[in-house]
Homo-oligomer: A and B are copies of this chain.
Amino acid sequence: MIRLSKFPFKTLKSIPNWSDNKSTWILLQAGFIRQTMAWVYTYTTLWLRVLRKIEKIVREEMDNYGAFETLMPALSPKELWEKTGRWDSIDVFFHVPAANNKEYGLNSTHEEVVTPLMKEFIQSYKDLPTCVYQIQNKFRNEKRAKSGILRWREFLMKDAYSFHSSDEDFINYYEWMKDVYLRIFDRLGLWEDTVIALADWWTFTDKFSHEFQVKLDIWEDDIYICKSCGLGHNKEVVDEESWFICAECKSKEYDLEKASEIWNIFPLETKFTKAFGVEYLDENNKMQTPKMWCYGIWVSRAMGIVAEKYATENWIKWPENIAPAKYYIAIIWEENLGKAEEIIKKLNLDKDEIILDDRFSRKIGFGQKMADADLLWIPNKIVISKKTLENNSYELNWELIKI
């Protein structure tokens, strides 16, 4: 239970500024975030709760799917990246000078860590397929300024890596993973605005890869959506000199939409498993190199996208299951605090889901309390006042309820 009388991260009376990204300013007004430097934010208590709820949804769905969670380090040795030739080829990669004349990578991705890890555990065709994932901080040495909180130098990502004996095996896995992702985006309230798109920006493959893009006015990709079959095409894969032709159905009709990438999937083929010598014994006792795929969800970006999508002029109407709390309980008069706490106990609500407004200064009256409940967007507003107590009741979303 958060007691607002003790809570340091107060709301601001007005929106501090305005940009192309309206959710950022609401988050600032609500005290959810503060900028530490360009595209690097501190999360305060309530925003962190939203993040943890999103993280939990992703974790539950990945675990149900049969992927196994790990936690890989943010730092990694230069030698691993030299084996794949990527030490100098990823333009957003941070190189960190270290003691004893060493240099570490501050990872923007983890193929160079997960592949040598799995080398030990993949020995037989019986060990395949297998899929591991982590929800972990990634770092990108970004040069370009972009809007608001979506592109971060430091962000939370779910990255999964699967290993397969054949393309057929992978295709089964992929269809299954699509369902997992669908459930995740459904639970985040993002499904209806999501479009699958072809993309081509990976650092080493020249094959098409898939992205899930959420339509958003503000940012960051231009997506050509085929009017006939609905397949999206990232601007990068559309030859701008010629006319658009859908890669799937060959139609030339399209809608152009702004969108933001929220997950992607890349065929890594055997690039990494070969570089690190991952091999398994197949059914015929022959050594083979497994194929590898990776699947990302930008968890903290997903949170930013949800915020932007559900932002109105005045607040962010969170989907209820990821709202910062379920109950906002406003006690109007200090003399009713004891009685109100008894009622709260009786209601037997989940304590972690309660924000208790027990501020009683003259400046913070009923209006301010309800304005904050709206700004934080807590779905269930409970009011306990002299009047409700006289009626042996409390108000839940403006309806009188008997105790």
Taking a contact as CB atoms under 8 Å apart, the answer to whether B36 and A122 are in contact is no
Given A8-B127, A70-B44, A132-B8, A154-B75 contact (CB < 8 Å): yes
Q: Is the Cβ of A70 less than 8 Å from the Cβ of B45?
A: yes
One complex includes copies of this chain to the number of 2
For the complex, give the distance between the alpha carbons of A153 and B105 in Å.
13
Q: In the complex, what residue of chain B is closest to A51 when comparing beta carbons?
A: B71
Which chain B positions have C-beta within 8 A of A34?
A: 117, 120
Q: Assess whether A99 is interfacial by the CB under 8 Å rule.
A: yes
Asked whether, in the complex, the Cβ of A75 is within 8 Å of the Cβ of B153, the reply is yes
Contact of A9 among B42, B96, B121, B154 (CB under 8 A): B121
Query: A118: which B residues are within 8 A, CB to CB?
Result: 8
**Chain B residues, Cβ within 8 Å of A10:** 121
The answer on a CB contact under 8 Å between B130 and A6 is yes
Q: Does A68 contact B106, Cβ atoms closer than 8 Å?
A: no
A117 / chain B contacts, CB cutoff of 8 Å = 34, 36, 42
Complex Cα spacing A94 to B96, Å: 7
Is A402's beta carbon under 8 Å from chain B? no
Chain B nearest CB from A291 CB (Å) reads 16
Contact of A68 with B8 at beta-carbon distance under 8 Å, contacts A76-B37, A120-B34 already known? yes
**Inter-chain contact B8/A121, CB cutoff 8 Å:** yes
Known: A48-B71, A66-B6, A72-B42. A95 touches B97 (CB 8 A): yes
Write out, one digit per residue, whether chain A residues 104-128 have a CB within 8 A of any chain B CB (1) or not (0). Answer: 1010000001000110111000010
- The answer to whether B36 touches A72 (Cβ under 8 A) is yes
| Contact (Cβ within 8 A) B68 A7 | yes
Stretch of A138-146, A170-178, A238-246, A319-327 that contacts chain B = A138-146
